[in-house]
Structure 1
Amino acid sequence: MFDIKVERLVKKPIEEVFAALADHGNYAKFPGVDESELITQGEHEANGKGALRRIKIKPFTLYERIVAFERPNRLQYQIEQSSPITFEHEIGEVRLTEAEEGTRVVWISRGHLKVPILGSLILDPMTQKQGAAGFASILKAIERQ
């Protein structure tokens, strides 16, 4: 099982940080993300609840559904499909709160890769390490913009 939790203070206003994280079609501007696309628009706004995004982070392609969207404080997603390895995803959530110097962000993702033996011994720990580094990199990029 991988259990990723990244906490960071981003020295930007909460609305700006949320807007960058919710801009599903433009994740390719972040380091480590090769492609991103908004496949299906959300119920009340394009990137909102119900939206389906495709994100390619070599070697993975992930299809993530937005299951909660509370501007500007919470974004929750669920990996519905992945290749070349299947993820069993419990939760992906980004919580934002205003802080004196900007925005406090807590980003979590929990699940496991469905590969017998190799998944739990090798791939889940590797996913946890690379996922945490990737989330931190995205938040750093938002701060630099």
Structure 2
Amino acid sequence: MQSLHVSRVFEADAATVFDVISDHAGYASLPGVRRAWLRRTGDAHRDGVNAERVLDLGLARIVERITEYEPGNALGYRIIESPLPIEHAGARLTFEPLPGPTARTRVHWRSQLRASTPLAQAPVAFAIARQMAFAYGVALRIWGRRLR
């Protein structure tokens, strides 16, 4: 099992940061994502638990199911469809308010996966996890610019 973790500090309160990151439509502004939409809306909130968001990457699509939705606190999901040879154990973003005179929030993005290939599982999982960590970091930077 490969685990990855990226984090970033945002100059905004946790509720505002959560609203930006949890909105499925905003994913379309990320590099490599052509479109983003909900295949299924969440139970209590459009982007909430059991929502299924689709990320169209051009030649491929990734479908994620929201598993946790606590505004301002935590957002969890699991990749349920992907062209990547992985079994995704899940990802969780947590929103940590930071002390100080201005509103600041540290976001932690953690994910776990394993390769579903019959051979070279460890190197494949490692390579995919590194690419995902890079993509998560880029997404956090873009959202950070949007919140300035």
Per the normalisation by structure 2, the TM-score is 0.86
Q: Residues 114 and 93 from structure 1, CA distance in 2 versus in 1: closer, same or farther, beyond 3 angstroms?
A: same
Moved more, 24-33 or 37-46: 24-33
Q: What residue number does 2:88 align with?
A: 89
Q: How many residues align?
A: 143
For residues 70 and 52 of structure 1, the distance between their equivalents in structure 2, rounded to whole angstroms, comes to: 16
For residues 2 and 35 of structure 1, the distance between their equivalents in structure 2, rounded to whole angstroms, comes to: 28
Task: Summarize the alignment of residues 55-94 of structure 1 with structure 2, pairs less than 5 Å apart.
Answer: 55-57=55-57, 60-83=60-83, 85-94=84-93
Q: Look up the SS of the partner of 1:126 in the other structure.
A: helix
Among all aligned residue pairs of Structure 1 and Structure 2, give the percentage whose two residues are the same amino acid: 27
Q: Which runs of 5+ in 2 are unaligned?
A: none
Q: What code does the residue aligned with 1:111 have?
A: L
Q: Residues 109 and 51 from structure 1, CA distance in 2 versus in 1: closer, same or farther, beyond 3 angstroms?
A: same
Point out 4+ residue stretches in structure 1 off by more than 3 angstroms: 56-60
* Bigger CA radius of gyration: 2
Q: Alpha carbon RMSD of aligned pairs, Å?
A: 1.8
Per the normalisation by structure 1, the TM-score is 0.88
Q: Look up the SS of the partner of 2:143 in the other structure.
A: helix
Q: What residue number does 2:20 align with?
A: 20
For residues 112 and 47 of structure 1, the distance between their equivalents in structure 2, rounded to whole angstroms, comes to: 26
Please say if residues 53 and 64 of structure 1, whose CA atoms lie closer than 8 Å, have aligned partners that are also in contact: yes
TM-superposed deviation, 1:5: 0.5
Q: Look up the SS of the partner of 1:44 in the other structure.
A: coil
